[in-house]
A and B are shown apart, each in its own frame.
Chain A
Amino acid sequence: MGVTLLVPDAAANITPDASDAGLRHVLHALPGVDQVGAEARAAMLASRSIKNEAKRTAIDLAISMVDLTTLEGADTPGKVQAMCAKALHPDPADDLVPPVAAVCVYGDMAGIARAVVGDRLHVAAVATAFPSGRAALEVKLADTAAAIERGADEIDMVIDRGAFLTGDYGTVFEQIAKVKQACGDAHLKVILETGELRTLDNVRRASWLAMAAGADFIKTSTGKISPAATMPVTLVMLEAVRDWHQRTGRRIGVKPAGGIRTAKDAIRYLVMVQEVAGPEWLTPDLFRFGASSLLNDLLLQRQRMATGNYSGPDYVSHD
């Protein structure tokens, strides 16, 4: 399988085969990431102070970027239906609150979700033997096809971290490319599971690998591994999509998932999106939050700004 990649530090394009050696050549030519420097940059961005009108705008934007998620073994149709209802009308008392971007469920629940949200929201399904990614390729493809058949228009796949860590980049590439093929018109989000990749160098390489193989979004985590999304990891992924756009003209989305629970955190991420990738990424088409409890905190903060008083947990719905 041939693929065109751009070596980041040279003007020349190269066309390696998707063999381990060809991909290694490209991925290991990417600049390294200094962990301490990246963390310092993320911390500086986190110190931005977003007040008043900016905060109101940011909260609504953040709500519209939420992939409201339930990914439990104990999920039932009732639970999924309740979540979908909330996704459509996050605050029943306030019609001005925008809907979230999508609901995110296991593939077998995609049909239940689609029945509730209709075409008003995206339905994202996790696939490819989520969360471990440990299954035969045929199983992963079947998993993907089944979710799409049930109405998912976004697929959140996991990469084979074992293959990545062992340097078997060809396998990772091939699986992403085949899943992308199986997706058809559905958007593909590629979960890197950065908590298992451990280093920011790996995050950068995995981001480029996923983009090269056809990802529409790169996503940090399954939410099942700690640490999940962090500011420094998301920073490196935002740098990757920025640089990819500069070289290919194509904008890839970013989705931090897991661990983002407060409005304050969400706003910090938005600041980072704006200052690192650019304001063009401040849209649900290019940035999402994979979260469940975040939405309620966004709503509480929204109520607090609307009424001037602090709200309480009894004034938002719990599913």
Chain B
Amino acid sequence: MSLEYAPAPESTDVVDIKAHYGLFIDGEFVEPIDGTTFTTINPATEGVLAEVSEAGPQDVARAVRAATTAHTRTWARMPGRERSKYLFRIARLIQERARELAVLETLDSGKPIRESRDVDIPLVAAHFFYYAGWADKLEHAGLGTSIRPYGVAAQIIPWNFPLMMLAWKIAPALATGNTVVLKPAETTPLTALAFADICQQADLPAGVVNILTGDGTTGRNLVEHPDVDKVAFTGSTEVGRAIQRAVAGTQKGLTLELGGKAANIVFDDAPIDEAIEGIVNGIFFNQGQVCCAGSRLLVQESVADQVTEALTQRLRTLRLGDPLDKNTDIGAVNSAAQHARITEYITAGENEGARRWTAPCAIPERGWWIAPTVFTEVSTAHRIAREEIFGPVLAVLTFRTPDEAVAKANNSPYGLSAGIWSEKGSRTLWMAQRLRAGVVWANTFNRFDPASPFGGFKESGFGREGGRHGLSAYIRSEVV
């Protein structure tokens, strides 16, 4: 017999979504001066969740002005121990409202509630707790004794981990004495707006955090505003390039966390069952819409068939569907545009001659869904082996020797993360030393922690988020 899991949806009673949201500037929700509005949609149902404001140039100017004033008059003058307590307050408020935030995140992004509840939101709270503790200890961080914040940080975040990316940006910026103007992604603004409410509940001084919703134009206006002192961006390498060009020749600090095409390398002495879990978690976590996703599986030839067989068996147990259902493993992809992009890559993979396998999942009628997809017989020259797909699509390649594994893994303009699966410690360390990646997961994958620095090599960006190293992104470095 088989045990059919009955629907187990998380209740949406805990969230209260307004019909319309303004911009959060200088401690208040205000209507845009020269902006318009747009809607945010539940990608699992295509239903409209709310109408959101799009900040125009004057709104950007207003927010930057508020942040500048808050920086010079309040935040930079405040002793670190007091800033610290505001961050602790925020962390506690996030814990208190964790269920609400998880449901909101799932509604707006399409990610499974299991992930928003067990991964995203706990990490958000943890990130604020971690950096709260740094605010009054900055001179002990090993970054010099005269710690100076940049001033106003313009922060632009993506839609894949909306509130978590907000935490990664705002917590270290505030701890170091910067004020921020943050723009969430246009498809996932709701948790950032809920965070604005949390700032109010924490009595955070007005203007320290400003949230501007909008699209790429709003983001560009923000980045190019002359009174912005620091730009932090997480998103595509394409936009990262444009931002790096835009700040060229200015005094603005810049950190970028961009794309990836991580190799997840499985040796023949790997703990195979856990490796299978790592592969699944590596590429199907958040529908593969993860910059550090293990999208290239490099498996040693001697176990390639065994691993591929075990993997496809395992993928048959993944449950795709209602993201609010507590048993859902694979939720909706974030938008129609992302769905089209992933679909285009799947077609490209087939056209280039790779062999496609798709998990047998029933696809709901409405919403944007992609069943877990595995390509075997992939060559290093195929687009699906080189370009970031940002979807639940795995390209399987093989290797014969550790040298070959390193060469293939590093053969990419990206360098964000990598995975190594082996029970041989000396080889794991040998590999970790040679992989050009900012995060190397050995016998695990897609683990995150506020104490652990995250960020890339090469076209995956520069700067680190998390840990002691994450502080330096928000401290003006004196280089002589």
Binding site for B on A (CB under 8 A): 9, 31-34, 36-38, 40-41, 47-55, 57-58, 61, 236, 239, 270-271, 274-275, 279, 282-283
Contacts known (A31-B272, A41-B277); A9 close to B2, Cβ less than 8 A: no
Contacts known (A271-B3, A279-B2); A32 close to B8, Cβ less than 8 A: no
Closest chain-B Cβ to A307's Cβ sits at a distance in Å of: 19
Chain B residues near A37 (CB-CB < 8 A): 271, 273-274, 277-278, 443-444
Q: Which residue of chain B has its CB nearest to the CB of A10? A: B302
What is the CA–CA distance of A36 and B281 in the complex, to the nearest angstrom?
14
Chain A residues near B5 (CB-CB < 8 A): 48-51, 54
Contacts known (A34-B443, A49-B8); A58 close to B3, Cβ less than 8 A: yes
- Does B317 contact A275, Cβ atoms closer than 8 Å? yes
What is the CA–CA distance of A61 and B2 in the complex, to the nearest angstrom?
10
**Shortest 9 CB-CB contacts between residues of A and residues of B:** A37-B274, A279-B2, A49-B8, A49-B326, A34-B271, A34-B274, A31-B272, A54-B6, A52-B6
- Would you list which residues of chain B between 267 and 292 have a CB under 8 Å from chain A? 268-274, 277-278
Contacts known (A37-B444, A47-B118); A274 close to B277, Cβ less than 8 A: no
What is the CA–CA distance of A37 and B327 in the complex, to the nearest angstrom?
20
Contacts known (A47-B114, A61-B3, A274-B2); A9 close to B277, Cβ less than 8 A: no
- Does A31 contact B271, Cβ atoms closer than 8 Å? yes
Other-chain contact of B271, A32, A57, A282, A283 (Cβ < 8 Å): A32
A-B contacts, 13 listed (Cβ < 8 Å): A31-B271, A32-B270, A32-B423, A37-B271, A50-B3, A50-B6, A54-B3, A57-B4, A239-B273, A274-B2, A275-B317, A279-B3, A282-B1
What is the CA–CA distance of A275 and B3 in the complex, to the nearest angstrom?
10
- Would you list which residues of chain B between 304 and 322 have a CB under 8 Å from chain A? 306, 317
What is the CA–CA distance of A282 and B278 in the complex, to the nearest angstrom?
26
**Additional A-B contact list (5), CB under 8 Å, known A37-B278, A51-B7, A236-B273:** A47-B326, A54-B6, A57-B3, A61-B1, A283-B1
What is the CA–CA distance of A57 and B5 in the complex, to the nearest angstrom?
10
- Does A48 contact B327, Cβ atoms closer than 8 Å? yes
**Contact code string B406-449 (vs A, CB < 8 Å = 1, else 0):** 00000000000000000100000000000000000001100000
Asked if B303 is at the interface (CB within 8 A of a chain A CB), the reply is: yes
Chain B residues near A36 (CB-CB < 8 A): 443-444
What is the CA–CA distance of A274 and B319 in the complex, to the nearest angstrom?
13
What is the CA–CA distance of A36 and B1 in the complex, to the nearest angstrom?
31
Number of chain B residues close to chain A: CB under 8 A = 28
Which applies to chain A's interface (DSSP): helix, strand, loop or mixed? helix
- Does B274 contact A53, Cβ atoms closer than 8 Å? no
Closest chain-A Cβ to B97's Cβ sits at a distance in Å of: 21
What is the CA–CA distance of A193 and B306 in the complex, to the nearest angstrom?
30
Closest chain-B Cβ to A10's Cβ sits at a distance in Å of: 8
- Would you list which residues of chain B between 248 and 274 have a CB under 8 Å from chain A? 268-274
- Does B268 contact A9, Cβ atoms closer than 8 Å? yes
Closest chain-A Cβ to B9's Cβ sits at a distance in Å of: 9
Q: Which residue of chain A has its CB nearest to the CB of B309? A: A246
Chain A residues near B4 (CB-CB < 8 A): 53-54, 57
Other-chain contact of A9, B273, B274, B306, B423 (Cβ < 8 Å): B306
Q: Which residue of chain B has its CB nearest to the CB of A40? A: B277
- Does B271 contact A33, Cβ atoms closer than 8 Å? yes
Contacts known (A31-B272, A34-B271, A34-B274); A55 close to B303, Cβ less than 8 A: no
Chain A residues near B444 (CB-CB < 8 A): 34, 36-37
- Does A33 contact B274, Cβ atoms closer than 8 Å? yes
Q: Which residue of chain A has its CB nearest to the CB of B303? A: A9
Other-chain contact of A38, B114, B270, B273 (Cβ < 8 Å): B273
Chain B residues near A32 (CB-CB < 8 A): 269-271, 423
- Does B6 contact A55, Cβ atoms closer than 8 Å? yes
Closest chain-B Cβ to A199's Cβ sits at a distance in Å of: 12
Contacts known (A36-B444, A279-B1, A283-B1); A41 close to B6, Cβ less than 8 A: no
What is the CA–CA distance of A81 and B8 in the complex, to the nearest angstrom?
41
Closest chain-A Cβ to B200's Cβ sits at a distance in Å of: 33
What is the CA–CA distance of A53 and B8 in the complex, to the nearest angstrom?
11
Q: Which residue of chain A has its CB nearest to the CB of B421? A: A34
- Does A51 contact B8, Cβ atoms closer than 8 Å? yes
Residue from B274, B443, B444 having most chain A Cβ neighbours under 10 A: B274
Chain B residues near A55 (CB-CB < 8 A): 6
Chain B residues near A53 (CB-CB < 8 A): 4, 6
- Does A31 contact B1, Cβ atoms closer than 8 Å? no
What is the CA–CA distance of A274 and B316 in the complex, to the nearest angstrom?
12
What is the CA–CA distance of A83 and B316 in the complex, to the nearest angstrom?
41
What is the CA–CA distance of A33 and B272 in the complex, to the nearest angstrom?
8
Residue from B8, B114, B269, B303 having most chain A Cβ neighbours under 10 A: B8
Q: Which residue of chain B has its CB nearest to the CB of A47? A: B114
Closest chain-A Cβ to B6's Cβ sits at a distance in Å of: 4
Residue from A31, A271, A279, A282 having most chain B Cβ neighbours under 10 A: A31
Q: Which residue of chain A has its CB nearest to the CB of B8? A: A49
- Does B443 contact A282, Cβ atoms closer than 8 Å? no
- Does B273 contact A31, Cβ atoms closer than 8 Å? yes
Q: Which residue of chain B has its CB nearest to the CB of A242? A: B313
**Contact code string B43-72 (vs A, CB < 8 Å = 1, else 0):** 000000000000000000000000000000
Closest chain-A Cβ to B51's Cβ sits at a distance in Å of: 33
- Would you list which residues of chain B between 179 and 200 have a CB under 8 Å from chain A? none
Closest chain-A Cβ to B331's Cβ sits at a distance in Å of: 15
Chain B residues near A58 (CB-CB < 8 A): 3
What is the CA–CA distance of A54 and B269 in the complex, to the nearest angstrom?
39
What is the CA–CA distance of A100 and B269 in the complex, to the nearest angstrom?
42
